[in-house]
Structure 1
Amino acid sequence: MAGYGWISLTTDYGTFDGFVAACHGSIARIAPDVRVIDVTHHVPPADVSRGAAVLAQTAPHLPPSVHVAVVDPGVGTARRGIAIGTPGGVLVGPDNGVLMWAAAALGGIDAVHELTNKDWFLGDVSRTFHGRDLFTPAAARIALGADLADAGAPVDAGTLVRLPDPVVTVGDGWIEAEVLTIDRFGNVQLAASGPTLAGLGPDLLVNGNVRGRRGSTFADVDRGDLLIFEDSAGRVALAINNGRAVVVLSVTPGDMVRLAARN
C-alpha cells in the first residue's frame, strides 16, 4: 500500500482542552512527516449526524488522506472501531454512522476492517479516549503504508451502522426537507439538493409565513431579507443577508422546513 501524506481530523473535542493536541501527538510519534488537516473540532458534543455531514462535505475537497472522525458517544462500549477503504481515501473511526456519508462521497466502500490489532494501539487503550489511543495511531500506520488487512478482521459492509437518510419530499411547487446542518453564521442547510429549487418560482414562503427569495449570493436580497440558494455543498440553504436565518426560522437540525411558491 502506497500510503498517504495527509491525515484529517474531525471531532467534537473542542479546543479548550488538550484532547486535540494529544491526537496530533499520537500521529507525530508514529508518522512525524505526515501532515494533519484539522477539519473541525467543534462538532456539537455527541452530534454524530453533524460530524458525518461536515466530513462528507469536506473530505472530497482535501488531498487523498486518511480521514479520522471521532464523534463517539459510545466510546468504551461494544461498538466497533473500523477502517474503511474507499477510492478516495481511508476513513477511521467508530462504527456509529459518522463515517458512512463520507464513504459515499469518496466513491463508495472497497473494504472494511475492524481495528483489533493490538500492535497498532498506542499503549494501554483508555476506555474514554479512543481518538488518542486507537484511531489516530491506526490512521498514522495506514498513512505510512500499512495494509488495511493488518488492522484486524474484515467486516461485512452490510453490517455497518448507518444513519437514517434525511427526509426530502418534492411536490408540485413545494419542497419539504429536513434541516441537515446549521453553520456558525446561522445559515440553515437542508437535506434537499440544489437542483430541486428549479421547480420553484423566485418568491417563496418558508413554513407558510416567512417570505424568502431565490438567489445565488447573499447580496441578491436586501439587508435583513431571507435568501434561498444552493450552497457550496450543493444543498438548498437559507440565509439572512447580514443576519441569522436560524433565529428567524427557529429551527434545529432534524426539523422539517417547507418551501412553497408564493402566490
Structure 2
Amino acid sequence: MRDPAGYSYLSFLTDYGREDGFVAICHGQMLERAPAARIIDITHDVGPGDLRRGATVLAETLPELPPGVHVAVVDPGVGTERRGIVAHAGGHVLVGPDNGLLVWAAEALGGIGECHEIANPGLWRHPISRTFHGRDIFAPVGAWLAAGLDPAEVGPEIASSTLVRLEEPRRAVSGRIAGGEVRAIDRFGNCQLSLLREDLTGLGDTPPDSLRVHLPAGRWTVPFGTTFAEVDPGAPVLLVDSAGYVALAENGGNAARRFGLGVGDAVDIEPGDDAPAGD
C-alpha cells in the first residue's frame, strides 16, 4: 500500500472557516514536514461540526482528484476517546477522525482498503492540544504520509468494519413513489436529493413536466429538466446535478429558501399532473 515516493499534493477540508488562522497554521505544519507538497484546499466552510456536509463534499470531490493524501477535519469529538485513522482507498490516502467523515469518500473511491489507527505520538506536534488535533495530529500525519512515510509507522492496522459510519440518507422506491431526503444544500440553495435518475425512471412513463414532489411544506408539481434555464426565471425544476443526484433547484433563485428545506428533510416524488407548481 505504501508509495515510497510519496505524493505530490495534500488536499484539506475542515469546518474551521477563514476568519481565524487555523487553516494557515495547519498548512504550516504540513509544509514543515512535506515542503515539496502542494496543498489543495477543498473547502473550510463546512458548517461547524456538520459531519454529513463534510462527508458529502469529500465523497463528491475526491474521485475528481488525482491520487494523493486527503486530510479532513470536522471533529465535534476532538479531545475525546474517538480514534484518528488513516484509510486507503483507490490509490488515495484519507486522514482524519473516526467519526464517519471519511467513509463515504472512501467508498466513492472504490472501497475502503488498509486502515491504521493514528497512534504514534512521535509523528505529532507537541504539546498536544485537546481542542486542535487538526494542527497537532492530522496535518502532521498527513504530511508525513505525503512525504513517503510507511503507513505501518502511523499505528496498528485496524479492520475497516470497525470504522464509525454515518447513517445513510433515505432512498427507496416503492410502487410509483421514490422516497428520499435532502442530501445537501449548496450555496445557491440547490437541494441535492438522495435519489438518482434511475429512481425516477422506476415511476413509470411519466412526462418530464408532471412529477409530483411532496415536501414538508406541501405538494408541488415540478418539471424534470436538464438545465436550470429550461424553466422561467424564478420557477422550480428537478434535474440531475453534476454529481449524478436528482436536485430540486430554482432558476435564478434559492430552492431551499423557496420551499423551506433543510438537510435531512423528506422528499417524495411520484407521477403527477399538469397543475402549476406551488398549489
Corresponding residue to 1:247 among 235, 238, 257: 257
Partner of 1:155: 158
CA shift at 1:211, angstroms? 2.4
Partner of 2:46: 43
Partner of 1:9: 12
Partner of 1:205: 212
1:188 aligns with 2:191: yes
Partner of 2:178: 175
CA shift at 1:223, angstroms? 1.0
CA shift at 1:84, angstroms? 0.4
Query: Per the alignment, do residues 228 and 110 of structure 1 end up closer, same or farther by CA in structure 2, a change over 3 Å counting?
Result: same
Write the deviation string for residues 175-224 of structure 1: whole angstroms up to 9, x where unpaired: 11011100000000011123222234212122152221001111111111
1:125 aligns with 2:128: yes
1:79 aligns with 2:82: yes
In the alignment, the residues of structure 1 paired with residue 147 and residue 48 of structure 2 have an alpha-carbon distance, to the nearest angstrom, of 31
Cα contact 1:218–1:241 (8 A) shared by 2: yes
1:256 aligns with 2:266: yes
In the alignment, the residues of structure 1 paired with residue 108 and residue 270 of structure 2 have an alpha-carbon distance, to the nearest angstrom, of 29
Cα contact 2:212–2:270 (8 A) shared by 1: yes
Partner of 2:276: none
CA shift at 1:173, angstroms? 3.0
TM-score, scaled relative to structure 1: 0.97
Partner of 2:228: 218
In the alignment, the residues of structure 2 paired with residue 174 and residue 222 of structure 1 have an alpha-carbon distance, to the nearest angstrom, of 27
CA shift at 1:144, angstroms? 0.8
Matches within 5 A, 1:86-165: 86-165=89-168
In the alignment, the residues of structure 2 paired with residue 96 and residue 79 of structure 1 have an alpha-carbon distance, to the nearest angstrom, of 7
Q: Which residue identity lines up with residue 224 of structure 2 in the other structure? A: R
Secondary structure of 1:209's match? strand
Cα contact 2:173–2:202 (8 A) shared by 1: no
CA shift at 1:80, angstroms? 0.3
Q: Which residue identity lines up with residue 221 of structure 2 in the other structure? A: R
Q: Which residue identity lines up with residue 249 of structure 1 in the other structure? A: F
In the alignment, the residues of structure 2 paired with residue 204 and residue 225 of structure 1 have an alpha-carbon distance, to the nearest angstrom, of 14
The answer to which of 119-128 and 52-61 deviates more is 119-128
Write the deviation string for residues 13-60 of structure 1: whole angstroms up to 9, x where unpaired: 001000100111111111111011111101011010110000000000
Partner of 1:230: 240
The answer to which of 196-205 and 243-252 deviates more is 196-205
Following TM superposition, where does structure 1 have runs of at least 4 consecutive aligned residues deviating by more than 2 angstroms? 171-174, 197-201
- Which structure has the larger Rg over C-alpha atoms? 2
In the alignment, the residues of structure 1 paired with residue 145 and residue 56 of structure 2 have an alpha-carbon distance, to the nearest angstrom, of 24
Uncovered stretches (5+) of structure 1, i.e. residues with no partner = none
In the alignment, the residues of structure 2 paired with residue 209 and residue 192 of structure 1 have an alpha-carbon distance, to the nearest angstrom, of 18
TM-score, scaled relative to structure 2: 0.92
Name the % identity: 51
